[in-house]
Amino acid sequence: SGSSQRNALALVMLFFVVNAVAQQVNMIPRPAGITQGEGYFLLDPSAKIYIADAAAKKTGALLNDYIKARYGFTLPVQRGRGSASGKAIIFRIARLGPAQIPGAYQLQVTGKAIRITGNDAEGAFYGMQSLIRLLPFEKVSRLPVPVVQITDHPRFAYRGLNLDVSRHFFPVSYLKRYLDIMAAYKMNVFHWHLTDDQGWRIEIKKYPLLTQTGAGRNGTIRGYYPGTGSDNSPYRGYYTQEEIKEVVAYAAERYITVIPEIEMPGHSSAAIAAYPSLSCFPGRTTMIPLNMVALKTVQQAQETGRKKFVQETWGVFDDVYCAGKDATFAFLQDVLDEVLPLFPSKYIHIGGDECPKTNWKQCPQCQKRMKEEQLKDEHALQSYFIRRIEKYLNSKGRQIIGWDEILEGGLAPNAAVMSWRGEQGGIEAARQKHTVIMTPANFCYLNRKGLEKEDSLTAPALLPIERVYQYNPVPSSLTPEEATYIIGAQASVWTEYIANAAKLEYMLFPRLSAMSEVLWTDVENKSWPDFQKRVQYEQKRYQWLGLHYNQKILSGLL
Ligand code: TNX
């Protein structure tokens, strides 16, 4: 009969799916311990999700959301520890081992039940993410989950990824996807680069021009953005405070902390375009790097009679916040007063990188400040600037992160350092007993090209996937005591040449898969040859999730 033929067909298909399972325990980042058994748990709509501990409730719901979105059915969710009869996925929270590492979990799959035990709520979440990795890349209604026992924990507490939304803007809908991607790779800090020379992207109610003027660029410079998708057209975008809250809440459900970056004293052209009095020289045209495009920008500015403008070219600009005026600090404190309630993070990133001292050298008010404060040079003035902001943020119960330039002229007393110009800044900060996050450009900057021959215009320096994979955020020159100051590392992606989500993902993958293992997996469990095999399989996952990726990097590994 037709129905028995269909049954037979279903069995044959199941056989193929189940056979595929044999190689399917293919985890990135690689877990601390993994033992694969025989057979599988058949996940179908008859299974139930049990929440033994209320703290795992949202995680259970997120698993259900995933199953619904990818396979089209949902499971009943109830409180409790599961029943003897029937298929069960059980979420528990229980102390795992003496080390009590935040985020540790166990995932146990038997023929009858799937048990996810988190050391804490985030551990249960990572156990759920690992379970998702065991599900097939095919829309079926009976999902064979291989029998396996996984015991796992993260290596670092800070597992970061940034996004530069100033050079190019990414809407909230995409940020949610970005956060989902991060969660799938067990990353837990989203560093949101919200302000820069080419755009101010966060609504500040007290200073409406920051977004009215600072969130747009004219796009009149012909042909300067080849390959970025935004050639020659006006460009605008910012997040309302409501949208920011939405992103922070979405991240929190995925155990991701959002750290905002408000850049100072440099990279501040967009703010200065909105409020020229923030500059040492409000009446002067912003100086820009000397190349043809820059000259055009100056001409254009002169023609329109405007002295200050949101930058249309990439680079480092001389017009920075004036360190001599108290009004600069009043402005920044007002801005931070609106930023803090939106972001519950312990840390606030205040930038501090690439601040030319050209204006400060010529500015009478800056020179006066230096005399009064007995600052020996402009680096000391920058240090004064950062310390003053630090003091303000500390008084509000927060701590600052700054790029490694904040070491110059003396580190603010409680500052954490993000080391980007290599590892030296991080090493020095750790020796001074300051918290460090490593993101050295030559290992962690995924906006750099992944292959010698790139298909699209991309930052010129080369960062091959093997170098990303082999990166160890704890430099061997540190003593074990000093090494405790390295709380983690970050993959960074700057968007000068990344105008849309497809390009962004193409730059991230497969190298972000490698980076996730740098952040999560203990050194002794890492293996480049083994990773090369797993990342080939990962390709199917990229396709299943609709992620763009650089296929040539993967074929280059074969
Ligand atoms: C340097 S990384 C910068 C960014 C650029 C990046 C890539 C850092 C602290 N500063 O402003 O986007 O290089 O060009």
Residue 519, in any domain of the structure? no
> What is the CATH classification number for the domain harbouring 81?
3.30.379.10
Q: Please, what's the largest Cα pairwise distance for the chain?
A: 96
Residue 517, in any domain of the structure? no
The atom of ligand 1 lying closest to the CA of 267 is 11
Residues 111 and 171 in one domain: no
Residues 143 and 210 in one domain: no
Do the Cβ atoms of 519 and 187 come closer than 8 Å? Answer: yes
Complex ipTM:
0.96
- Cβ count near 57 (within 10 Å): 16
- Residue 399's beta-bridge partner residues? 347
Tokens standing for 238?
């910012």
Tokens standing for 473?
């955020």
Whole-number Å distance between alpha carbons of 110 and 436: 41
403 lines ligand 1 (CB under 6 A): yes
Residues 141 and 163 in one domain: no
Residue 491 — φ and ψ, nearest 5°? Answer: -85, 135
528 Cβ contact list (under 8 Å, min separation 6): 466, 469, 470
420 lines ligand 1 (CB under 6 A): yes
Distances (CA, A) of 495 to 72, 259, 279, 500: 35, 18, 26, 9
Q: For ligand 1, atom 5, name the residue with the nearest CA.
A: 494
Residue 15 burial (10 A CB sphere; 0-12, 13-18, 19+): exposed
Residues 147 and 179 in one domain: no
531 lines ligand 1 (CB under 6 A): no
Residue 522, in any domain of the structure? no
The pLDDT profile of the chain, 558 residues, written as one tens digit per residue, is: 555 666 666 655 555 554 444 445 899 999 999 999 999 999 999 999 999 999 999 999 999 999 999 999 999 999 999 877 899 999 999 998 877 899 999 999 999 999 999 999 999 999 999 999 999 999 999 999 999 999 999 999 999 999 999 999 999 999 999 999 999 999 999 999 999 999 999 999 999 999 999 999 876 654 444 444 445 678 899 999 999 999 999 999 999 999 999 999 999 999 999 999 999 999 887 655 544 455 555 666 666 667 888 887 788 888 999 999 999 999 999 999 999 999 999 999 999 999 999 999 999 999 999 999 999 999 999 999 999 999 999 999 999 999 999 999 999 999 999 999 999 999 999 999 999 999 999 999 999 999 999 888 888 899 999 999 999 999 999 999 999 999 999 999 999 989 899 999 999 999 999 999 999 999 999 999 999 999 999 999 999 999 999 999 999 998
pTM for this model (two decimals): 0.94
Tokens standing for 449?
């090209």
The domain boundary residue, chosen from 124, 152, 180: 152
The CA 441 to ligand 1 mean position distance, Å, reads 9
Strands (E), 359-457: 399-403, 416-419, 436-438, 448-449
Whole-number Å distance between alpha carbons of 273 and 268: 9
- Cβ count near 481 (within 10 Å): 10
Q: How many domains does the chain have?
A: 2
Residue 520, in any domain of the structure? no
Residue 518, in any domain of the structure? no
Do the Cβ atoms of 194 and 214 come closer than 8 Å? Answer: no
Q: Nearest to residue 456, comparing CAs of 552, 540, 351, 385?
A: 552
Tokens standing for 394?
């500390």
Residue 59, in any domain of the structure? yes
Expressed as residue numbers, the domain containing 40 is 2-152
353 lines ligand 1 (CB under 6 A): yes
138, 354, 428, 466: which one is catalytic? 354
Q: For ligand 1, atom 9, name the residue with the nearest CA.
A: 353
Annotated active-site residue 354? The verdict is yes
Q: For ligand 1, atom 10, name the residue with the nearest CA.
A: 353
**pLDDT tens digits for range 410-446:** 999 999 999 999 999 999 999 999 999 999 999 999 9
- Cβ count near 147 (within 10 Å): 20
The domain boundary residue, chosen from 111, 127, 152: 152
Place of tokens 């360190």: 323
Residues 127 and 213 in one domain: no
Residues 267 and 364 in one domain: yes
Whole-number Å distance between alpha carbons of 362 and 115: 66
Residues 173 and 218 in one domain: yes
> What is the CATH classification number for the domain harbouring 222?
3.20.20.80
Residues 222 and 117 in one domain: no
- Cβ count near 522 (within 10 Å): 12
Residue 410, in any domain of the structure? yes
Residues 147 and 191 in one domain: no
Residues 293 and 350 in one domain: yes
316 lines ligand 1 (CB under 6 A): no
Tokens standing for 412?
């603010």
Distances (CA, A) of 223 to 68, 300, 449: 45, 15, 21
Q: For ligand 1, atom 14, name the residue with the nearest CA.
A: 494
Residue 89, in any domain of the structure? yes
The domain boundary residue, chosen from 119, 152, 185: 152
Residues 315 and 189 in one domain: yes
Place of tokens 């920044």: 332
Tokens standing for 451?
């292959």
Residues 93 and 190 in one domain: no
